Amino acid sequence: MTDIPVSSDESVHESYSFACMRCGYGWEQEYDIKHHPGAGGRTVYVYYTDGVPVPSPLTRPMCVNCGSQKVRILQAGSVAKVPPDWPGPEPARGRPRSDGAASDRVV
């Protein structure tokens, strides 16, 4: 693995919203993204949170609440727009229950 320099000519600040499809948890995270010259003239993007390098949130995001990788990335501010009294998603309709019995709900 090649060492990536800590300093860079270019840096951007971005925020992402995330929603877990397993537990329903939603959160937002801010990132500083530094652009570094890489091998063959390609640009390498390194994501930082609180000055610490972290994996890109665009590849395999993981729920900070339950650890699931069934996470959707949303436009920044999306999680904050959900009303605090929103009860959350309804269970899927017309699908078998986890015990194998048919659901009594209709589609």
Q: Count of domains in the chain?
A: 1
The residue segments making up the domain with residue 28 are: 1-107
* Length of the chain (residues): 107
Q: How far apart are CA 63 and CA 27, in angstroms?
A: 9
* Burial label, 51 (beta-carbon count in 10 A; 0-12, 13-18, 19+): exposed
pLDDT band at residue 107 using 50, 70 and 90 as cut-offs: very low
pLDDT one-digit tens code per residue, 47-72: 999 999 999 998 889 999 999 999 99
Model confidence pTM above 0.75: no
